[in-house]
Amino acid sequence: MTEVHLIPPVFDENSRVLILGSFPSVKSREMGFFYGHPQNRFWTTLAHVLGAEKPHTVDEKRAFLLSHGIALWDVIASCEITGSSDASIKNAVANDLSVILKNAPVKRIFTNGATAHKLYCRYLLPQTGIEATQLPSTSPANAAWGQARLDAAWGMIL
Protein backbone atom coordinates (compact mmCIF):
# COMPACT_ATOMS: atom_id res chain seq x y z
CA MET A 1 0.00 0.00 0.00
CA THR A 2 1.25 3.47 -0.87
CA GLU A 3 1.94 5.83 2.04
CA VAL A 4 1.85 9.58 1.46
CA HIS A 5 4.06 12.08 3.31
CA LEU A 6 1.71 14.55 4.99
CA ILE A 7 4.20 16.44 7.19
CA PRO A 8 4.99 19.86 5.71
CA PRO A 9 8.61 21.00 5.52
CA VAL A 10 10.02 23.22 8.25
CA PHE A 11 11.92 26.25 6.94
CA ASP A 12 11.89 30.03 6.85
CA GLU A 13 13.82 32.90 5.26
CA ASN A 14 16.76 32.25 7.63
CA SER A 15 17.24 28.52 6.94
CA ARG A 16 20.86 28.02 5.84
CA VAL A 17 21.07 24.26 6.35
CA LEU A 18 18.64 21.64 5.02
CA ILE A 19 18.50 18.21 6.67
CA LEU A 20 16.68 15.49 4.76
CA GLY A 21 15.48 12.15 6.06
CA SER A 22 14.13 9.40 3.84
CA PHE A 23 10.42 9.04 4.79
CA PRO A 24 8.65 9.46 8.15
CA SER A 25 8.47 6.46 10.47
CA VAL A 26 5.12 5.03 11.53
CA LYS A 27 5.44 6.94 14.83
CA SER A 28 6.27 10.20 13.04
CA ARG A 29 3.30 9.72 10.69
CA GLU A 30 1.05 9.15 13.72
CA MET A 31 2.41 12.26 15.50
CA GLY A 32 2.40 14.39 12.37
CA PHE A 33 5.99 15.53 12.87
CA PHE A 34 9.55 14.45 12.15
CA TYR A 35 11.52 11.95 14.26
CA GLY A 36 8.63 11.06 16.53
CA HIS A 37 9.97 7.72 17.73
CA PRO A 38 11.28 8.26 21.27
CA GLN A 39 14.37 6.16 20.53
CA ASN A 40 15.40 8.09 17.46
CA ARG A 41 18.39 10.20 18.48
CA PHE A 42 17.77 13.07 16.05
CA TRP A 43 16.57 15.64 18.62
CA THR A 44 19.14 14.59 21.23
CA THR A 45 21.96 14.80 18.68
CA LEU A 46 20.94 18.23 17.40
CA ALA A 47 20.60 19.55 20.95
CA HIS A 48 24.10 18.27 21.82
CA VAL A 49 25.66 19.67 18.64
CA LEU A 50 23.97 23.06 19.04
CA GLY A 51 24.57 23.27 22.80
CA ALA A 52 20.85 23.73 23.37
CA GLU A 53 18.01 22.25 25.41
CA LYS A 54 16.39 19.24 23.74
CA PRO A 55 12.93 20.21 22.45
CA HIS A 56 9.96 18.00 23.34
CA THR A 57 6.72 19.26 21.81
CA VAL A 58 6.09 19.75 18.10
CA ASP A 59 5.98 23.52 18.60
CA GLU A 60 9.28 23.44 20.53
CA LYS A 61 10.90 21.30 17.83
CA ARG A 62 9.77 23.62 15.03
CA ALA A 63 10.97 26.71 16.93
CA PHE A 64 14.27 24.94 17.77
CA LEU A 65 14.98 24.23 14.10
CA LEU A 66 14.07 27.71 12.90
CA SER A 67 16.02 29.45 15.66
CA HIS A 68 19.15 27.61 14.49
CA GLY A 69 18.67 28.24 10.75
CA ILE A 70 17.78 24.61 10.01
CA ALA A 71 15.24 23.45 7.45
CA LEU A 72 13.91 19.90 7.75
CA TRP A 73 12.06 17.63 5.36
CA ASP A 74 12.31 14.22 3.72
CA VAL A 75 13.41 13.08 0.28
CA ILE A 76 10.30 10.99 -0.40
CA ALA A 77 6.75 12.33 -0.90
CA SER A 78 5.13 8.91 -1.29
CA CYS A 79 6.20 5.29 -1.48
CA GLU A 80 5.33 1.73 -0.65
CA ILE A 81 6.91 0.96 2.72
CA THR A 82 6.61 -1.81 5.27
CA GLY A 83 6.29 -0.23 8.71
CA SER A 84 9.22 2.15 9.17
CA SER A 85 11.82 0.11 7.26
CA ASP A 86 13.84 2.24 4.83
CA ALA A 87 15.06 -0.98 3.25
CA SER A 88 11.49 -1.79 2.16
CA ILE A 89 10.89 1.49 0.27
CA LYS A 90 9.57 0.87 -3.25
CA ASN A 91 8.00 3.01 -5.97
CA ALA A 92 9.25 6.21 -4.40
CA VAL A 93 8.14 9.63 -5.60
CA ALA A 94 10.38 12.50 -4.49
CA ASN A 95 9.36 15.70 -2.74
CA ASP A 96 9.84 18.94 -4.67
CA LEU A 97 12.62 20.77 -2.80
CA SER A 98 12.15 23.93 -4.84
CA VAL A 99 9.54 25.08 -2.30
CA ILE A 100 12.41 25.37 0.20
CA LEU A 101 15.31 26.22 -2.08
CA LYS A 102 13.49 29.15 -3.74
CA ASN A 103 12.45 30.65 -0.41
CA ALA A 104 15.38 30.03 1.94
CA PRO A 105 19.11 30.80 1.62
CA VAL A 106 20.13 27.12 1.99
CA LYS A 107 23.90 26.78 1.67
CA ARG A 108 24.31 23.08 2.57
CA ILE A 109 22.21 19.95 2.38
CA PHE A 110 22.71 16.98 4.71
CA THR A 111 21.05 13.58 4.61
CA ASN A 112 20.22 11.58 7.73
CA GLY A 113 21.58 8.13 6.88
CA ALA A 114 22.57 6.08 3.86
CA THR A 115 19.07 5.50 2.48
CA ALA A 116 18.17 9.18 2.52
CA HIS A 117 21.48 9.92 0.79
CA LYS A 118 20.99 7.26 -1.88
CA LEU A 119 17.42 8.45 -2.56
CA TYR A 120 18.54 12.10 -2.66
CA CYS A 121 21.28 11.31 -5.18
CA ARG A 122 18.88 9.29 -7.35
CA TYR A 123 15.85 11.57 -7.34
CA LEU A 124 16.80 15.10 -6.26
CA LEU A 125 20.45 15.82 -7.07
CA PRO A 126 19.66 16.00 -10.81
CA GLN A 127 17.11 18.77 -10.07
CA THR A 128 18.96 20.70 -7.37
CA GLY A 129 22.53 20.34 -8.58
CA ILE A 130 23.54 20.61 -4.90
CA GLU A 131 25.70 17.83 -3.49
CA ALA A 132 24.46 16.53 -0.14
CA THR A 133 26.67 15.38 2.73
CA GLN A 134 25.68 12.05 4.23
CA LEU A 135 25.51 11.96 8.02
CA PRO A 136 25.17 8.75 10.04
CA SER A 137 21.57 7.79 10.73
CA THR A 138 20.10 8.81 14.08
CA SER A 139 17.77 5.79 13.92
CA PRO A 140 17.91 3.30 16.81
CA ALA A 141 18.56 0.70 14.08
CA ASN A 142 22.02 2.29 13.65
CA ALA A 143 23.33 0.70 16.84
CA ALA A 144 26.95 0.80 15.64
CA TRP A 145 27.00 4.55 16.30
CA GLY A 146 26.91 5.54 19.96
CA GLN A 147 25.65 8.97 20.97
CA ALA A 148 29.11 10.53 21.35
CA ARG A 149 30.13 9.35 17.88
CA LEU A 150 26.87 10.67 16.38
CA ASP A 151 27.39 14.03 18.06
CA ALA A 152 30.92 14.30 16.67
CA ALA A 153 29.85 13.40 13.12
CA TRP A 154 26.80 15.66 13.16
CA GLY A 155 28.96 18.57 14.36
CA MET A 156 29.68 19.35 10.69
CA ILE A 157 26.22 20.93 10.35
CA LEU A 158 27.70 23.93 12.17
All residue ranges of the chain with pLDDT < 70 are none
Long-range contacts of residues 127-133, Cβ cutoff 8 Å, at least 24 apart? 127/97, 127/98, 128/97, 128/101, 130/101, 130/106, 132/20, 133/108, 133/109
Which of 14, 40, 95, 142 is labelled catalytic? 40
40 is catalytic: yes
What is the structure's pLDDT at 86? 82
> Each residue of 134-145: pLDDT tens digit?
999 999 989 999
Q: In which domain, by residue range, is 152 found? A: 2-157
CATH code (residue 82): 3.40.470.10
Number of structural domains, the chain? 1
List, for residues 60-69, the tens digit of each pLDDT value: 999 999 999 9
